[in-house]
Structure formats: C-alpha cells, structure tokens
Structure 1
C-alpha cells in the first residue's frame, strides 16, 4: 500500500512538473519556432496577414508609442488614440516622417465613460482595421484599497476594462467578416495573482486576461486572433513615481524592449510577457501556495509604497 502511494505521488509530481514546463517554456517556444518558420516560408507581412490599419490606444507615451513605432516600421498604417491632441499630432508627424506611413489620430479620454463610444464607433467604421492594440491604462497610487479615491476607482474601470471591452466589440465583427485580424491586449503580470496595495489595478488586469483567453477559444476557425501580453514592471509614465524604488531583484524593462519583443511575437504565441526576463520572473508563482505568493508580492509592494510615501 505504501509503495502504491509513493508511486502515485511520484506520478503526480512528474505530471505537475511537465505541466509547469509546458505552460512556461515548451508551448511558447513551439509557437515562436512555428511562427518564425511560417513567416520565412510564406513571407507574410503584417499588413497582408491582418490588414492595413493598426489601432493603438494610449499611443502617445510608453508601450503604446513604442508599439506604434514598431508597427509603422512593419509598414502598417497607424491610427493613434489618446486623450491629448497636441501629443497625438506630434507622434503622428514623427511616424510619417520616419517611416513614411499614413497616420490618423483620434483624441478621446476613456475616463469619460460610456458616452464616448457612439462617436468612436462611427470614427472607426471607415477603417479596415487589421490590428487593435488595447494598451491604454491607469494606475492609482500604491495604497490600501480603502484609501483609493472613488474617482480613481471609476477611472480604473473605465480606462483599464471598459475601453478594451468596447473597442474589441466594435472591431471584431469586421475582422470576422474579413476573416483576418488580431486583437492585442496589454495586461500585466499583476493580473496573474492578486497583488496587495495594487488590488483594484490587478483585478482590472485579471479581467482583461480572462477575457482574452476566453476570446482566443471563441475565435478559433474565424481567421481572427487574440494575443495576451502581460509585462511586469516597465519604465513608463504610469510607474514613474515608484519604479526606481523597487528592490534590485525586480527586473524593470524599457517600453521599447517590451514593444520590440511583443511585435516580434505577433501571430507566434497566444500569450507573452513581452520579454523573456519577465517570463522568468513570474514562473515561480505556481510553485508556492497562492496565499504565500500573495504575501510575498504584497510585502514587496508595501515596502515600495512606504518608500514613495
């Protein structure tokens, strides 16, 4: 009887190890290899494979701007969406001058809630959208949940969740009718497990992760794809108040690094951290009980918050 129990425990350990290796290493590696081979054999360029226009939200700074640059470099026409008109005009002119691509822009503040979407739907209807990059985001101060203002909580819902949800709902019918296109949702590793002192922010990213993975299955056979990108700490305007206060062992990447690797992986993998540094940084999460993982991450964030405040 004891030997049977030992054998079962051994099998369970082997199964868990294989599953962990498959999820974090084998599946992404196979996707990257096959996607690279496919690109070499069929020489598919992004505008041909998906469509001529790339729509990018939060496109005037950070990851969004870098995605716009990398996609323009691939020959896509770029539709920039952000809230500040002057920044949009500046970035649009930079892209046109450097990459010789057509650009358009729409100034909209996603914090304004549902009333913005009727006009936005009409504006997007005239474009043959091949790529949608849902990047716009909002990160409130690192404080306990009860200290976050109600305004910040509503902004979190409107910017981090409603914007991606509504834009996907707008563009997916056209993509499915054309049988081509891809939605790229920029979430965060903070959506992988609950993060104390970033509880509401992490919850919005967890929502986006769940929605993206479900859509990937719904879209099978339609010619349309959905890619989930979950970077860790990135040097952007969102994190500028605290990223230099993080412990030395937290890998902090530039927005350009995340966008460069993210664009390379378009069509090659359904889920990426945007850079292998961040993939390595989170692969330990399932090796510990969830409560222990949450406690460790919470202590790191709390220590950082104390340095900021």
Structure 2
C-alpha cells in the first residue's frame, strides 16, 4: 500500500511539473510572436482590399485605422461624429496614400445597419475590427449609482458586434478568408464589480468571439477577441502611458503581431504578464467589500459624497 501511495504521489508530482513546463513554454510565444507564429507584411493585404473599423474616430479604433492603412489596406471608418471622421480620413490618406471611406453612424441606435450594409456594397472586405464601445460611467461605481443609459451601452457594446459581423462575414465565407478582431476588455474575462454592465457586455463579446471561431475556423476565417487592460484613450480619460497603460498606437501595433497566435489575446506582452499574475489571485479577493470600498475611495466624486454625508 505504501509503495502504491509513493508511486501515486510521484506520478501526480511529475504530472504537475510537466504541466507547468508546458505552460511556461507556451507562454514564451508572447515574448517571441514573430518567431512562434510570424505574420508576414503581406498577410493583412492578402485578406482583402478593405478593412472596416468601427469607433474609428479616436483611441484604439483610430490607431487600428492608421496601422492597417500602413500595412496596405484601404479603410472604411465608421463612427458617430462626421467632422472627426473627415479629419482622421484626411490624416490617413496623407500619411499612407491609401483610400479611405467614411460612414457616419451612431451605434447606440439599432436602425443604422441597413444603411451601413448598402454603403459597404461592392467592397472586398478582408478585415473587420469591431472596436466601438462605451462605458456606463467614467468612474467605477455600484450598479444603481451608474448611468441609466443601459440600452445605449448594450446596443453599442453588444449588438454592434453581432450586426457588423453578420453583415461582413457573408463575403468572407464566400471567399474563404478574412480576419475579424473583436475588441473586448480584460474586465470581460471575469465578473468585475463596479463595472457591472460594462463587464457583462464585454463578456458577451468574449464568448461570442470564441464560439464564432469554433464555427468558422474551417472556413479560413480568423476570429480573435482582444482583451486589453489599460490603454490610454479618451474613453479612459487619457491616462499617461506607462509600463502597464499603453498608448493606443503602441498597443495596436503590438496586438497585430498576435493575430495568428490564438483565438484570444490581451494584445501586448505587458498585459499578458499582468493577466498571468492576476490568475494566481483568487477571484473572491477582488470581490471582497474591502477591495471595492478601497477602489471607491480613490474616486474624487465618491470622496466628495462621503464628505457631504459627514
């Protein structure tokens, strides 16, 4: 009996060590993406002539628009503000020499998709970046204290991804190739208190993308969900870039090196390492009242409210 127990424990220990070794080797792909799964310069252009980017007026969407144009694609920019779209389009055309088409659309509305589909007719679309999104509140807050515009957020963060994919994927399937990048968030990979609605909406993007890849990977279409942590954008109130918070341009440039690595990515090495460390912390730690109260105390509006109550 003792010999059997010793053999069993040895087998379990060896299995754990083997799993750890495999995981370490697997994680090396994020350090050397250009060696592990190289993306040739011609890869993006080989998908098709045009790339469509939603929420292209600023932040991550604008950065994807510039970077894909630099890599040889004509771009379709879709966003709400026409003046901003025209400005970004002009900048891209001057910087890259590529053709740029703009479509004004408010993704908080559901009556926009027929017009978008008509505007895209006749274009060979090889890449779709579902980037448009909105926060329910600029700062972390409890559900009942947040904005009441839940329907706008659901339309913008969730319905837009489904509808735009539906419109564009048809021709990708017929051509047996295409790339769809769905921009979610790291807070969509776990239940995130104080960002309840936003976290849930990005969880939809996360699971939608992974299920869709299973359905269509045999059709030659790459569907990847990108789940960044901190990126300096107007939506996040433009924090100063640092080791963790990346500029939109730097983040997008690095994330495009990861498009062939897997069906999900945090988008850059810094965020992959951060996610690895956070996975060792039990979820209940983040869900304690003390952690939530500590986060809320860091918010200027919450401080003012507490001062008034005292």
TM-score class, shorter-chain normalisation, is: 0.7 to 0.9
Which deviates further from its counterpart, 281-290 or 191-200?
281-290
- The structure number with the bigger radius of gyration is 2
Q: 2:222 aligns to what?
A: 225
Question: Which residue pairs with 1:47 in the alignment?
Answer: 45
CA contact (8 A) 1:195 1:298 kept: no
Task: Find the counterpart in structure 1 of residue 270 from structure 2.
Answer: 277
Instruction: Give the structure 2 partner of residue 138 of structure 1.
Output: 134
Q: 1:10 aligns with which of 4, 10, 13?
A: 13
1:194-209 to 2 correspondences below 5 Å: 194-209=191-206
Residues of 1 paired with 2:123 and 2:298: CA distance? 44
1:249-304, CA deviations, whole angstroms, 9 ceiling, x for partnerless residues? x8211111111112233334432222111111111233233222444974664344
| Cα offset, 1:191, TM superposition | 1.2
What residue ranges of structure 2 are gaps of 5+ in the alignment? 304-310
Which of 112, 126, 130 is the aligned partner of 1:116?
A: 112
- Contiguous gaps of at least 5 residues in structure 1: none
Distance 1:7 1:300, change over 3 A: farther
1:163 aligned to which of 160, 165, 171: 160
Structure 1 partner of 2:35: 33
State the TM-score, normalizing by the size of structure 1: 0.86
Of 277, 280, 286, the residue aligned with 2:279 is 286
Contact conserved, 2:30 with 2:269, CA < 8 A, in 1? Answer: no
The aligned residue for residue 126 of structure 1 is: 122
CA contact (8 A) 1:186 1:229 kept: yes
- CA shift at 1:221, angstroms? 2.1
CA distance in 1, matches of 2:105, 2:55: 10
CA shift for structure 1 position 122: 1.9
CA-atom RMSD, angstroms?
2.7
Write the distance in 2 (CA, Å) between the matches of 1:297 and 1:222: 45
Contact 2:45 2:72 in 1 (8 A): yes
Say if 1:196 and 1:301, in contact at 8 Å, map to a contact too. no
User: Could you tell me how far apart the structure 2 residues matched to 1:170 and 1:4 are?
Assistant: 58
Give the direction of change, closer, same or farther, for the CA distance of 1:54–1:308 in structure 2 (3 Å limit). farther
Shift of 1:227: 1.5
Whole-angstrom CA distance in 2 between matches of 1:267 and 1:92: 28
Distance 1:20 1:200 in 2: 33
Q: Which residue of 281, 300, 305 corresponds with 2:299?
A: 305
Maintained 8 Å contact 2:57/2:84? yes
Report the count of equivalent residues. 297
| 8 Å CA contact retained: 1:110, 1:116 | yes
Say yes or no: does 1:21 pair with 2:24.
yes
Q: Give the conservation status (yes or no) of the 8 Å contact 2:186–2:228.
A: yes
Inter-partner Cα distance in structure 2 for 1:20 and 1:289: 19
Contact 2:108–2:155 (Cα < 8 Å) also in 1: yes
Q: How much has 1:121 moved relative to structure 2?
A: 2.0
